[in-house]
Amino acid sequence: MVYSVKRIEALAAVARISLRPGEAERLCRELDTMYARAEVLQDTAAGENPFLETVLLSELREDRAQPPLPRETVLRMAPATRDRYLTVPRAVEE
């Protein structure tokens, strides 16, 4: 097991994320699965991996510049605003 419940809980505390009971255990299992899959991908050359071939050969949409959303629309969708600006929770304490 690469990730432990203790490590997940410590990361959650640093990120200020509250976890429900049992959620740390579930996250451990999910992260271990992702880590194992990443190791397989790392050990496999792109030409030998059908997953990577699918990703590399899939059609992606063309990037096109588009006009930005109007300010009023963005402010209406924002969870919090003040004086025509978006407001976000403080991330760093002084």
- Residue tagged 């071939």 (tokens): 53
Higher model confidence: residue 91 or residue 55?
91
Write down the domain spans for the chain: 1-56
The two three-digit tokens of residue 60, written as one number: 């992606």
pTM for the full model? 0.44
User: How far is 26 from 6, CA to CA, in rounded Å?
Assistant: 13
Residue-wise pLDDT for 12-52, tens only, equals: 999 999 999 999 999 999 998 888 888 777 766 555 666 66
- Residue tagged 């190791």 (tokens): 39
Question: Quick one: pLDDT at residue 55?
Answer: 64
User: How far is 33 from 17, CA to CA, in rounded Å?
Assistant: 22
